C-alpha cells in the first residue's frame, strides 16, 4: 500500500535558493557503500498497519547485517507531516542537517517536494537494483500520478484497488461496477462503507468512482484548477448523496482508514470492502483477521493503481545510508520478503517476466490462498489522475459532508 498523502500547499514566494551541492555521488556506488557504514537512516513512513511496521523492522535488521546501517522507523499517521518538516527546516536555513533521511511518499507529496526543490537527486537510475524494474518496459516506475519522477524517487511497491467480500455472506456475484455497487448497497444496507476523507484509501475510492461516473475524464489528467471542477464532479456528489444513507452507520460515521475497514469485515459488520493492496485480504486470512471464506476481485473495466516510492530530502545528513536502503528495498531478497503473505503481501515492482529463473522462484508462493486474486486479474490498471485532484476532492468532500 502506497504512503498516505496530505496536501501541502506551498506559495511560490516561499521558494528559496537551490540546495547545496549534493553528496555523495550515486554513480560511485563503492564510495556510497563506504560512506554509508555506521550511519543511521531516519525513515519517515506511514505506520498504520502492523505488517508494514514489521517489514520495516526486518529492513533494519538486514541493513545492519549487510551494511552496518541502522534504520529508524519514524512512524507517521500522515506523510504531509514529514513534508512540512522538511519545508520548515529549509525556511530556517537548515540545508545539510535535516531530521529526515528517507521518506515514503507519492502523489501530492512528491509533487509538492519536487516543485519546491526539497528532494535530493536524481539518484534512482544509479541504484544497482533499479535495473531489475526494467523501466523501458514498465514506465509506471518512472511516473507518479502523471508526473515524471526524473530519478528523484525510487519505486519499492505497487498498489491497486481490490475489492474483497465474505462469500459466506454474499452468495451471488458481488457488484462489479461503481454503478452496481450503489444498487447492492441499497439491497444490503449497512454492509459497505469507505474510509473517512482525507484518508488515502477513502480518497482513492472517490477517484475510482469519479473516473467511472464523470463525462469528461480527460480533465482528470490535467491540473484540477484548469477544469470546470463543479461540472466534472457533479455526478460523483450525486452518487455519494444517494449512497451514504445505505452505508455502515448510514454514512454518519466512517472508519478511519483501510485497516479500520478490514477490522469491520473481520468483526462481521461489513460484508464488502476494498483495499489498495491486492494481497491484503489473503494476508489477513493467513493472519486469521478475516474469515477463510474471504474472496477478492476487481471491478469490470479495471481499478486505479499506482507505484509507491521512497525519496531522500535535500538536507538529509545521511544520504549515503539512504541510498543503500533504497537500493536494498529493490533487491530480490527484500521484494520477495515484502510480497510474502506471511510478511506483508505488498506486490513487487520488479519485472518478473525478465529476471532469471532463480530470482523468479523467490516469488512463487508455497501454497495457494483462495482469497488471492486469480492470475491476470490486475492487468487492467486505471491511471491515477493529476495529483491536484486528490486535494481538490478531499476539500470538496469535507465542505459537503462535514461542513468545513
Looking at the DSSP assignment, which residues form a beta bridge with residue 46? 76
pLDDT of residue 366: 67
Nearest to 220 by CA among 391, 383, 389: 389
Mean pLDDT (the chain, rounded): 91
Mean pLDDT of 323-334: 98
Mean pLDDT of 139-146: 93
Nearest to 309 by CA among 135, 87, 67, 102: 102
pLDDT of residue 216: 86
Mean pLDDT of 44-56: 93
Mean pLDDT of 137-143: 94
Give domain limits for the chain.
12-159+307-373, 160-305+383-401
Fold match, 12-159+307-373 / 160-305+383-401: yes
pLDDT in tens, 170-222: 988 999 999 999 999 999 999 999 999 999 999 999 999 999 999 989 999 99
pLDDT score of 20 more than 90: no
Nearest to 49 by CA among 60, 41, 57, 59: 57
- What CATH number was assigned to the domain covering residues 160-305+383-401? 3.40.190.10
pLDDT in tens, 64-73: 999 999 999 9
Superfamily grouping for domain 12-159+307-373? Periplasmic binding protein-like II (3.40.190.10)
pLDDT of residue 49: 86
48 with 259: CB under 8 angstroms? yes
pLDDT score of 21 more than 80: no
96-130: burial string, b at 16+ Cβ within 10 Å, e else: eebbbbbbbbbbbbbbbbbebebbbbebbebbebb
pLDDT score of 34 more than 50: yes
Amino acid at each position: 500500500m502506497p504512503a498516505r498523502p496530505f496536501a501541502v500547499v506551498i506559495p511560490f514566494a516561499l521558494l528559496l535558493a537551490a540546495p547545496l551541492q549534493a553528496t555523495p555521488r550515486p554513480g560511485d556506488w563503492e564510495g556510497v557503500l563506504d560512506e554509508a557504514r555506521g550511519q543511521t537512516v531516519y525513515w519517515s513512513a506511514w505506520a498504520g498497519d502492523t505488517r508494514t511496521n514489521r517489514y520495516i523492522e526486518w529492513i533494519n535488521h538486514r541493513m545492519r547485517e549487510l551494511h552496518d546501517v541502522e534504520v529508524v522507523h519514524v512512524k507517521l499517521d500522515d506523510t504531509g507531516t514529514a513534508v512540512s518538516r522538511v519545508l520548515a527546516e529549509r525556511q530556517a536555513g537548515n540545508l545539510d542537517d535535516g531530521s529526515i533521511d528517507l521518506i515514503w511518499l507519492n502523489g501530492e507529496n512528491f509533487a509538492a517536494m519536487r516543485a519546491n526543490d526539497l528532494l535530493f537527486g536524481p539518484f534512482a537510475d544509479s541504484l544497482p537494483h533499479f535495473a531489475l524494474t526494467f523501466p523501458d518496459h514498465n514506465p509506471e516506475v518512472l511516473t507518479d500520478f502523471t508526473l515524471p519522477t526524473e530519478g528523484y524517487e525510487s519505486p519499492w511497491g505497487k498498489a491497486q484497488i481490490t475489492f474483497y467480500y465474505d462469500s459466506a455472506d454474499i452468495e451471488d456475484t458481488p457488484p462489479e461496477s461503481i454503478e452496481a455497487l450503489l444498487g447492492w448497497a441499497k439491497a444490503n444496507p449497512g454492509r459497505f462503507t469507505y474510509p473517512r476523507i482525507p484518508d488515502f484509501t477513502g480518497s482513492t475510492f472517490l477517484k475510482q468512482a469519479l473516473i467511472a461516473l464523470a463525462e469528461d475524464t480527460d480533465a482528470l489528467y490535467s491540473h484540477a484548477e484548469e477544469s470546470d471542477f463543479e461540472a466534472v464532479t457533479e455526478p460523483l456528489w450525486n452518487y455519494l448523496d444517494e449512497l451514504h444513507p445505505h452505508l455502515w452507520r448510514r454514512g454518519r460515521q466512517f472508519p478511519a482508514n483501510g485497516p479500520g475497514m478490514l477490522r469491520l469485515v473481520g468483526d462481521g459488520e461489513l460484508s464488502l470492502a476494498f483495499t489498495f493492496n491486492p494481497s491484503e485480504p489473503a494476508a489477513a486470512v493467513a493472519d486469521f483477521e478475516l474469515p477463510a471464506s474471504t474472496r477478492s476481485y476487481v471491478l469490470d473495466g479495471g481499478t486505479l493503481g499506482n507505484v509507491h516510492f521512497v525519496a531522500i530530502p535535500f538536507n538529509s545528513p545521511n544520504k549515503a545510508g539512504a541510498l543503500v536502503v533504497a537500493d536494498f528495498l529493490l533487491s530480490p531478497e527484500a521484494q520477495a520478503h515484502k510480497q510474502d503473505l506471511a510478511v506483508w503481501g505488498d506486490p513487487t515492482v520488479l519485472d518478473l517476466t525478465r529476471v532469471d529463473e532463480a530470482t523468479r522462484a523467490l516469488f512463487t508462493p508455497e501454497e495457494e490462498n483462495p482469497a488471492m486474486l486469480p492470475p491476470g486479474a490486475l492487468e487492467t490498471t486505471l491511471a491515477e489522475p493529476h495529483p491536484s485532484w486528490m486535494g481538490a476532492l478531499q476539500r470538496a468532500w469535507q465542505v459537503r459532508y462535514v461542513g468545513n
